[in-house]
């Protein structure tokens, strides 16, 4: 499918501007215990869609490019479907075409929700067959071309690159693809669907690759530019940081200029507690948590931001005895939620992630007793050569593509203090 237009107007080569986003996952469930919080999070997903469309209406780019997983397929409610059609229709009627490359969640399988949805005019949806849309500016000049290919099912494990048409000389083209770039940050958390890589980007001749699927915002190719915008909305604590879309400018020559525009008000964060060793009781822990959140809030700078917080307690702490009691930490989380609710905090979790009582390990190192031997073993496991000798070829708990050494070191974090905690327990006051 190609959008039809009049012949090019004379004049200098124009600049191509577009908005690139992905992975909103409308109506996907949130893992929150409180029903009211789940409802507030779902509404924020819909509000983020509205802000995305408002951005397009304000900036008037040549196109809105959505690289898949706009919604969660059969979970999409009728009310959210109506909102989706209405909002995208507003954008298209304003002269900003929308190009969606179906992902594995909103795939174009026959009979599926994406195929059955009544997409408005000006919204171009790419399933397993490639789609080409030519873009024009207000003066009628061709400013670029969008080539998109999506998923025809929920498990497209084969590369989709061979289906893409070649770039045309003199016309800046952009590829929209929901795919897996091996080695991208956070890629191990996602299925290796529709794989692609920097070597593929360079060979195809297109100017920009608008990617989706991996939820962490990052650049995965420079020449040509290839970006993941990250998920439009965070869904859990493994997706920290601000979430939004990319406003991309492709000049006639030179590299793409990419500007991040935050759109979602919601942030899932696990603030660090650097002063934990000095905390003596739960009152001081409460104050430390509030101070850590305030620092994060000032950094974000948005008075209307929404927060889901988790404080993970690990390492030495003078209040370790209380910090190891789940019922006390649950009470503290409830207290913090109430105290911080006026600042947009929807929920707070406080968890024991390996907190220990402070122990001076120096006198025990190199000593001929069990703790001394345990400390020696822990130190040896920091050596790459030792890990390579003792680790098996595969680790059952490691995610695909995850570095084995990093995985094991994560498991062994604070192992020295944990060993001291266990072996010196009988001498506790």
Write the DSSP assignment of 187-252 as a string of letters. Answer: GGGS---SEE-HHHHHHH--SEEEEES--S-EEEETTTEEEE---SS--STTS-S--EEEEEEE-S
The answer to whether 66 and 106 have CB atoms below 8 angstroms apart is no
Does residue 28 sit in the same domain as residue 168? yes
Residue 2 domain-assigned (yes or no) = no
Counting every residue written for the chain, the total comes to 429
313 pLDDT higher than 50: yes
pLDDT band at 418 (very low <50, low <70, confident <90, very high): low
- Please give the full DSSP string across 273-295, using - where no structure is assigned: -TTGGG--SHHHHHHHHHHHHHH
The mean per-residue pLDDT over the stretch 40-50 comes to: 97
Judged against a pLDDT cut of 80, whether residue 200 lies above it is answered with yes
Same structural domain, 339 and 419: yes
What is the mean predicted confidence (pLDDT) over 380-400? 74
177 and 316, same structural domain?
no
Give yes or no for a contact between 333 and 373, defined as CB atoms under 8 angstroms apart: no
Interior angle at CA 373, CA 369 and CA 379, nearest 5: 150
pTM over 0.85: no
**Which of 200, 234, 264 is where one domain is finished?**
264
Q: Residue 202: its pLDDT value, please?
A: 84
User: Is 120 inside a domain boundary?
Assistant: yes
- Give residue 326's domain range: 267-427
Which CATH number does the domain housing residue 63 bear? 3.60.21.10
**Do the domain assignments include residue 1?**
no
Domain-terminating residue out of 205, 237, 264: 264
Question: Are 31 and 236 contacting, i.e. CB atoms less than 8 angstroms apart?
Answer: yes
pLDDT at 340 over 90: yes
99-136 pLDDT, tens digit each: 999 999 999 999 889 999 999 999 999 999 999 999 98
Separation in Å, CA 7 to CA 14, 141, 153, 227: 15, 8, 37, 31
Within-domain flag for 412: yes
| Whether 273 and 239 share a structural domain | no
Long-range contacts of 408-412 (CB under 8 A, 24+ apart): 408/381, 409/381, 409/382, 412/378, 412/381
Report if residue 4 sits inside a domain: no
**DSSP bridge pairs for 250:** 16
187 φ, ψ (degrees, to nearest 5)? -65, -30
Are 229 and 313 in a shared domain? no
Residue ending a domain, among 236, 264, 292, is 264
Regarding whether 24 and 155 lie in a shared domain, the answer is yes
Check pLDDT > 50 for residue 183: yes
Could you tell me the pLDDT band of residue 4, with boundaries at 50, 70 and 90?
very low
CA dist 121 → 76, 118, 124 (Å): 21, 9, 8
Task: Examine the domain organization and report whether 109 and 218 are in the same domain.
Answer: yes
Residue 8 pLDDT grade (very low, low, confident, very high; cuts 50, 70, 90): very low
229 pLDDT more than 90: yes
Same domain, 284 and 256: no
H-helix or E-strand containing 82? helix 78-93
User: Is residue 101 domain-resident?
Assistant: yes
pLDDT at res. 337: 97
pLDDT exceeds 80 at position 88: yes
Looking at the structure, do residues 105 and 206 belong to the same domain, yes or no?
A: yes
- Using DSSP, state whether 420 is helix, strand or coil: helix
Average pLDDT, the chain: 88
pLDDT at 3 > cutoff 50: no
Q: State whether 358 and 209 are in the same domain.
A: no
Report the percentage of the chain scoring pLDDT > 90.
62
Three-state DSSP at 52 gives helix
pLDDT value of residue 315: 86
Total tally of structural domains belonging to the chain: 2
Q: Which residue has the higher pLDDT, 31 or 2?
A: 31
Q: How many helices (H) and strands (E) does the chain have?
A: 11, 17
Q: What is the pLDDT of residue 232?
A: 97
Average pLDDT in the 386-404 region?
A: 72
Measured CA to CA, the distance from residue 315 to residue 355 in angstroms comes to 5
Average pLDDT, integer, range 324-332: 96
Task: Please give the C-alpha separations between residue 180 and each of 163, 184, 185, 299, 356, in angstroms, as whole numbers.
Answer: 16, 8, 11, 31, 40
Give the model's confidence band at 376: pLDDT under 50 very low, under 70 low, under 90 confident, else very high: confident
Per-residue confidence (pLDDT) for residue 39, from 0 to 100: 93
Do 258 and 129 fall into the same domain? yes
Q: For residue 359, report the phi and psi dihedrals to the nearest 5 degrees.
A: -140, 130
- Check if the beta carbon of residue 182 is closer than 8 Å to that of residue 214: no
> What is the per-residue pLDDT across 353-375, written as a single tens digit (0 to 9) for each?
988 887 766 777 887 877 777 77
8 located within any domain: no
Regarding whether 383 and 345 lie in a shared domain, the answer is: yes
**For residue 352, what is the enclosing H or E element?**
strand 345-356
Whether 342 is covered by a domain: the verdict is: yes
């Amino acid at each position: 499918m190609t959008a039809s237009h009049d012949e090019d107007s004379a004049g200098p080569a124009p600049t191509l501007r577009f908005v690139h986003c992905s992975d909103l996952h409308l109506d996907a469930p949130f893992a929150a215990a409180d029903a009211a919080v789940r409802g507030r999070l779902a509404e924020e997903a819909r509000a983020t869609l509205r802000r995305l469309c408002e951005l397009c209406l304000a900036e008037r780019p040549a196109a809105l490019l959505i690289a898949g997983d706009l919604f969660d397929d059969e979970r999409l409610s009728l009310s959210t479907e109506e909102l989706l059609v209405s909002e995208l229709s507003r954008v298209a009627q304003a002269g900003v075409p929308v190009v969606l490359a179906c992902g594995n969640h909103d795939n174009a399988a026959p009979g599926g929700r994406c195929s059955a949805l009544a997409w408005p005019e000006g919204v171009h949806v790419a399933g397993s067959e490639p789609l080409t849309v030519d873009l024009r500016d207000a003066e009628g000049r061709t400013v670029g071309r969008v080539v998109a290919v999506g998923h025809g099912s929920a498990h497209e494990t084969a590369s989709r690159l061979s289906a893409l048409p070649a770039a045309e000389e003199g016309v800046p083209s952009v590829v929209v693809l929901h795919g897996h770039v091996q080695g991208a940050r956070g890629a191990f958390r996602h299925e290796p669907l529709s794989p692609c890589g920097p070597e593929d980007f360079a060979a195809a001749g297109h100017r920009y690759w608008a990617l989706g699927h991996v939820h962490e915002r990052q650049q995965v190719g420079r020449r040509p530019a290839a970006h993941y915008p990250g998920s439009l909305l965070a869904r859990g604590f493994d997706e920290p940081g601000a979430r939004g879309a990319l406003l991309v400018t492709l000049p006639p020559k030179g590299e793409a200029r990419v500007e991040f525009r935050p759109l979602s008000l919601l942030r899932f964060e696990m603030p660090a507690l650097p002063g934990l060793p000095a905390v003596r009781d739960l009152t001081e822990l409460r104050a430390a948590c509030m101070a850590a959140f305030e620092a994060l809030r000032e950094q974000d700078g948005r008075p209307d931001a929404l927060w889901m917080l988790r404080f993970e307690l690990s390492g030495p702490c003078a209040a370790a005895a209380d910090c190891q009691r789940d019922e006390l930490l649950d009470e503290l989380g409830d207290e913090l939620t109430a105290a911080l609710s006026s600042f947009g905090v929807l929920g707070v979790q406080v968890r024991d992630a390996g907190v220990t009582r402070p122990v001076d390990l120096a006198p025990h190192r190199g000593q001929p007793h069990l703790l001394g031997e345990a400390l020696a073993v822990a130190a040896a496991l920091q050596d790459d050569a030792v890990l390579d000798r003792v680790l098996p070829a595969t680790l059952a708990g490691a995610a695909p593509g995850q570095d084995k050494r990093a995985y094991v070191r994560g498991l062994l974090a604070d192992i020295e203090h944990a060993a001291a905690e266990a072996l010196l327990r009988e001498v506790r006051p």
